[in-house]
Amino acid sequence: MIEQTTVQPKVLLVGVSEKKTNDFEYAMDELKSLAEANMFFVVDSIQQNSESADRKTYVGKGKLIEIKEFCEYNEIDSIIFNDELTPSQTRNIEEVVNDVEIMDRTRLILDIFARRAQTKEAKLQVMISSLEYELPRLGGSYEALSRQGGSSTLRSRGGGETKLESDRRVIEAQIAKYRRELKKLVQERQTQRSKRKKSNTKTVALVGYTNVGKSTLMNALLEEDSDKKVYVEDMLFATLQTRVRRIEIADKKWCLLTDTVGFVDNLPHHLIKAFRSTLEEVKEADLLLHVIDSTSPHINHHKRVTLQTLQAIGVEDTPILEVYNKVDESNENYDESMKIAISAKTGYGIERLKKEITKLLYKDYNDYQLLIPYEMGNIVHMLSEQYETKILENREDGILLETSIPSTVANKYKIYITKTI
């Protein structure tokens, strides 16, 4: 049992399920992890079995009274509902359960993101998503808004329609302003990306459910370049901003590796929309490494959510390599059929993974033997600098070498090719 620290708000989780399925139990467990990732102290959870959530109050009337009494008795600060509440559900619940903050899964995820966002881009994306989420909810609770740095005039409750309208205008103007700022940043990123495209740099992106070990894997692939390492933490959404690092995966074979935000079930669609620009890196990658936590009992669920999220951001036919991580801890789940089994923590399987990445990224590369006349020394120089090249012999008629180059380069120098290996 985790001790509550004095500063942690006390929360109650509430969920509605048709049947007590494993999926539902898992969703509630995950909601608990999300709440803890937002530094809440979870006191308990109340669940209701019902055909569907109540249109007006999410849970039934009787259950709501039970919740109210529980909150009073246990001095609960916030209730977190497992699904996204409609604005009217929130208002109706607030009428019964007063003095307790009403949150839903979406609000919680937005708050975690707000807490973690560090770069200007991530902050703007989260602020836009939060304001878009709040907009149809104006007139209800304003606390969440003021938490997001909204105008203090929005904090007061009530007011006539005019007040509501003016509040709405303020928020809309704010969203528009943040969007403009974000657009500028996105353009800068696009310029960088098109430069990369021109230079024909290969790109690989790490994708997968949150907390599966993407950032740890990035660090493992970076090896001794400790100053390039990224942040790793045993909590949901440790990574929010995309990080790009250059790595040498084989001799003279480089790629840019991108670490991204982890996915989660019911990632608010506002957030996916907002993060689309960050996730462009994923969309445009030459290869995706789908990192899977092999110790999790929910592998299939994680995989499904990841693939659905990829689809939602517009990834279509990018090759995906499944990478089963944490095999140092998974005895039962680890089996030979897992194509790439690794432990980002111990380094097990990393070399094999690098080879596989190289094979997939550099599939247009072949090994050739070239005989280059001495007066074309600049070609020898270029090949040695940019590609894996081995000088075999300094012959009378030129330099004989072996090199691994893409077909475009081979075509250019085909008159010097003596052998395809």
Contact positions with ligand GTP (CB under 6 A) in 320-349: 325-326, 328-329, 343-345
Q: Are 35 and 2 in contact (CB under 8 A)?
A: no
CA–CA separation, 391 and 171 (whole Å): 65
Q: Is 167 annotated as a binding residue?
A: no
Both tokens assigned to 100: 């307790």
CA–CA separation, 166 and 194 (whole Å): 42
Binding segment for ligand GTP (CB under 6 A), chosen from 54-62, 209-217, 271-279, 411-419, is: 209-217
Our CB check for ligand GTP shows the closer of 54 and 281 to be 281
Distances from the Cα of 251 to the Cαs of 46, 175, 263, 384, 388, in angstroms? 57, 47, 33, 11, 6
Q: What is the DSSP string of 269-331?
A: HHHHHHHTTTTHHHHT-SEEEEEEETT-TTHHHHHHHHHHHHHHTT--S--EEEEEE-TTT-S
Least CB distance to ligand GTP at residue 264 (A): 8
The one of Mg ion, ligand GTP, none whose footprint includes residue 57, by CB under 5 to 8 A per kind, is none
Our CB check for ligand GTP shows the closer of 140 and 213 to be 213
Query: Mask: binding to ligand GTP, 242-281, rule CB under 6 A, as x and -?
Result: --------------------x-------------------
Our CB check for ligand GTP shows the closer of 59 and 112 to be 112
Cite the DSSP H helix spans in 135-209: 143-147, 161-198
Q: Is 210 annotated as a binding residue?
A: yes
Our CB check for ligand GTP shows the closer of 323 and 372 to be 323
Least CB distance to Mg ion at residue 82 (A): 24
Q: Is 262 annotated as a binding residue?
A: yes
The one of ligand GTP, Mg ion, none whose footprint includes residue 345, by CB under 5 to 8 A per kind, is ligand GTP
CA–CA separation, 78 and 38 (whole Å): 12
Pick the closest to residue 282 from 252, 312, 253 (CA basis). 312
How buried is 231 (Cβ within 10 angstroms: 0-12 exposed, 13-18 middle, 19+ buried)?
Answer: middle
Q: Are 308 and 325 in contact (CB under 8 A)?
A: no
Our CB check for ligand GTP shows the closer of 319 and 347 to be 347
Least CB distance to Mg ion at residue 249 (A): 20
The one of Mg ion, ligand GTP, none whose footprint includes residue 344, by CB under 5 to 8 A per kind, is ligand GTP
Query: Mask: binding to Mg ion, 180-219, rule CB under 5 A, as x and -?
Result: ----------------------------------xx----
Least CB distance to ligand GTP at residue 247 (A): 16
CA–CA separation, 21 and 53 (whole Å): 16
Our CB check for ligand GTP shows the closer of 89 and 216 to be 216
Least CB distance to Mg ion at residue 116 (A): 10
Pick the closest to residue 203 from 309, 355, 362 (CA basis). 362
Contact positions with Mg ion (CB under 5 A) in 225-264: 238-239
CA–CA separation, 17 and 51 (whole Å): 7
Rg of the chain taking only CA atoms, in angstroms: 27
154 binds Mg ion (CB under 5 A): no
CA–CA separation, 257 and 11 (whole Å): 39
Task: Name the percent of the chain in helix, strand, coil, to the closest 5.
Answer: 45, 20, 35
Both tokens assigned to 274: 């907002």
Query: Mask: binding to ligand GTP, 211-240, rule CB under 6 A, as x and -?
Result: xxxxxx---------------xxx-xxxx-
Our CB check for ligand GTP shows the closer of 310 and 344 to be 344
Q: Is 35 annotated as a binding residue?
A: no
Q: What is the DSSP string of 100-148?
A: SEEEEHHHHHHHHHHHH--SHHHHHHHHHHHHHHHGGGTTS--HHHHHT
Binding segment for ligand GTP (CB under 6 A), chosen from 14-22, 100-108, 206-214, 312-320, is: 206-214
Instruction: With CB under 6 A as the rule, give the number of residues binding ligand GTP.
Output: 22
Both tokens assigned to 369: 């033997």
CA–CA separation, 263 and 296 (whole Å): 15
The one of ligand GTP, Mg ion, none whose footprint includes residue 213, by CB under 5 to 8 A per kind, is ligand GTP
Q: Which residues are annotated as a binding site?
A: 208-215, 239, 259-262, 325-328, 343-345
Binding residues for Mg(2+) are 215, 239
Contacts with Mg ion, residue ranges (CB under 5 A) = 214-215, 238-239
Point out which residues bind ligand GTP (CB under 6 A): 210-216, 232-234, 236-239, 262, 325-326, 328-329, 343-345
Summarize the annotated binding site for GTP as residue ranges. Answer: 208-215, 259-262, 325-328, 343-345
